[in-house]
Amino acid sequence: MEDEQRSPWLRRVAWIVAIALVAVGAAVGIGAWLYAPAPPGTAPIARELRDRGRIAVVGEDDLLRLQAEGAELVPAARLEGLEDALSGTDEARLEAVMEERAIAGLLVDTRERPGESERLTDRLRSYDRFEVLRGAALTPVAALYLRRRAPSLPPVYGDALARAARQIVSGGSLPRTRAFPEPLRRVRNVEVLVMLREAGRPRLWRSARDNSIARALITASRVARDRWIEREAAMGGPIERRLPSMTIEVYLLEDDGTIGDRSGAFLERVFTPEHGVAYEDGGRWQFLTPEQTAERGEGSPVRAYRALFEDAGLPGTSLETREVRLYRLVASRVGISSAPRSGSSVLGGPLGDPLFEAPGLATP
């Protein structure tokens, strides 16, 4: 009789113990997940996440363990409309969703290689180039993309830049910065490349970084002229004589992601035909445009890097030197000044045309 009375009590105790054990196990599991380290190889991404705001995580939940002050990591599935946009191919739609949901960037799991696909998710996993996103940090585990802030210039502004570059390279007077339209004077950190081509082949190019497109263009054009003069004999004669047969192109250069793994296999994977190789070492930077990367590297970014280091007088081992930052470069052509026809001025238009001869463009 006493055993029968004790039996329900023992069963209740057993149930309480079992529930407690389950709760403890769950707490341990949750604690283990919360305090588990981020996936190995993501340290470069953690550094870039600082102060980036809301970042959507596309992929495995372990990427949510990355910690960075000023960054909020949110699963993509919790942000309405984002997964639908990523499953499509429309970058404009993705940009609209990111703006509406205040998403500053995407942290994308890249541990599985996708097949050939135009879906945005697959392109992100393939380290592709995008119009609305730029790469920030690229590793074999994950890639961080941020919304692009590069200026979008109407063709008329780009052509004005190219005419200004031709005037400067030809030895004409330097245009005043205030003569440029406001979008070209607007304060922003930019890098401008001035390229001189003859018969379709690059002959000389120089770039400059400054706090506005106008300033960077003036510097790059002046340096290009000085460099030609220094090498006049090798370049085939005075620049004033050769320039009328050359086309001048103006590009905006943009960083498209620091490379977080220096293995040859990863470099071959992360560079696309639209990317040039670039590095920065103690404030000094060098690069090859995508066109030059393809030519000098014969299709291999590793060979292109070695050629670039050789040009700079650096040892071939610089590819493995951690102090040297490797990054991808994209070049967007914004303006072109074709070789003048007979009877035209060196500025590429009819004689006497002002430098900025378009509505809304000031004349210096």
pLDDT digits (tens, 9 = 90+) for 205-250: 999 999 999 999 999 999 999 999 999 999 999 999 999 999 999 9
Task: Summarize pLDDT for 123-150 with one digit per residue, the tens.
Answer: 999 999 999 999 999 999 999 999 987 6
Are residue 172 and residue 195 in the same domain, yes or no?
Answer: yes
Confidence of residue 106 (pLDDT cuts 50, 70, 90): very high
Q: Does the residue 250 lie in any domain?
A: yes
pLDDT number for residue 283: 83
- My answer on whether 142 and 225 are in the same domain is no
Is 300 found in the same domain as 202? yes
| Residue 156 pLDDT | 87
- Residue 63 pLDDT class (50, 70, 90 cuts): very high
| pLDDT of 29 | 44
Once rounded to an integer, what is the mean pLDDT over residues 113-117?
Answer: 88
Under 8 Å between Cβ of 85 and 124: no
pLDDT recorded at residue 320: 84
Please tell me whether residues 190 and 82 are part of one structural domain. no
Domain termination site, one of 125, 147, 169: 147
In this model, does residue 13 exceed pLDDT 70?
no
Is there a single domain that holds both residue 100 and residue 223? no
Would you say residue 39 has pLDDT above 70? yes
- Give the containing element (helix H, strand E) for 71: strand 71-75
DSSP label of 183: H
CA dist., res. 15 & res. 19, Å (int): 6
Q: Is residue 299 included in any domain, yes or no?
A: yes
pLDDT at residue 357, as a whole number = 45
Give the pLDDT band (50/70/90) at residue 116.
confident
Q: Is residue 239 included in any domain, yes or no?
A: yes
Range of weakest confidence among 152-161, 180-189, 210-219, 294-303 = 152-161
Cβ atoms within 10 Å, residue 221: 28
Q: How confident is the model at residue 96 (pLDDT cuts 50, 70, 90)?
A: very high
How many whole angstroms separate alpha carbon 106 and alpha carbon 178?
Answer: 38
Q: If you average pLDDT over each of 49-58, 144-153, 280-289, which comes out highest?
A: 49-58
Which pLDDT score is estimated for 26?
46
| 59 contacts 108 by C-beta, under 8 angstroms | yes
Greater pLDDT, 158 or 364:
158
The whole-chain average pLDDT of the chain stands at 86
CATH of the domain at 287: 3.30.1490.150
Looking at the structure, tell me whether residues 210 and 116 fall in a common domain.
no
Q: Are residues 195 and 239 in the same domain?
A: yes
Pairwise CA distance, residues 12 & 109, whole Å: 47
- Looking at the structure, tell me whether residues 204 and 325 fall in a common domain: yes
> Which residue's structure tokens are 């404030």?
283
Task: Check pLDDT > 50 for residue 349.
Answer: no
In a domain, 226, yes or no: yes
- The C-alpha atoms of residue 233 and residue 164 are separated, in whole angstroms, by 25
Residue 360, in any domain of the structure:
no
60: its two tokens: 């495995």
pLDDT score recorded for residue 231: 94
Indicate the pLDDT class of residue 347, thresholds 50, 70 and 90.
very low
Residue at which a domain ends, from 128, 147, 166 = 147
Residue 30, in any domain of the structure: no
pTM comes to: 0.81
Q: How much is the pLDDT for 354?
A: 47
pLDDT band at 15 (very low <50, low <70, confident <90, very high): low
DSSP state at residue 350: B
Do the domain assignments include residue 342?
no
Q: What is the mean pLDDT of residues 25-46?
A: 65
What Cα–Cα distance (Å) separates residue 111 from each residue in 122, 123, 164, 262, 349? 12, 13, 47, 16, 53
297 secondary structure, DSSP code? H
Query: What is the rounded distance in angstroms from the CA atom of residue 221 to the CA atom of residue 237?
Result: 18
Domain endpoint, select from 147, 179, 195: 147
Which residues contact residue 31 at a Cβ distance below 8 angstroms, ignoring those fewer than 6 apart?
Answer: none
3 vs 75, which has greater pLDDT?
75
Task: Find, among 255, 160, 247, the residue nearest to 204 by Cα.
Answer: 247
Better-scored residue on pLDDT, 113 or 225: 225
Q: Residue 296: CB partners within 8 Å, gap ≥ 6?
A: 288, 303, 304, 307, 308
Same-domain pairing of 124 and 208: no
Domain that holds residue 226: 155-337
For residue 8 the two structure tokens come to 């329900």
Distance CA 75, CA 90 (A): 21
Number of domains observed in the structure of the chain: 2
Residue 9 forms part of a structural domain: no
> Coil, strand, or helix at residue 353?
coil
Supply the pLDDT for residue 81: 97
Any idea what the Cα angle at residue 188 is, between residues 293 and 164, rounded to 5°? 70
Same domain for 241 and 94: no
Q: 154 pLDDT band (50/70/90 cuts)?
A: confident
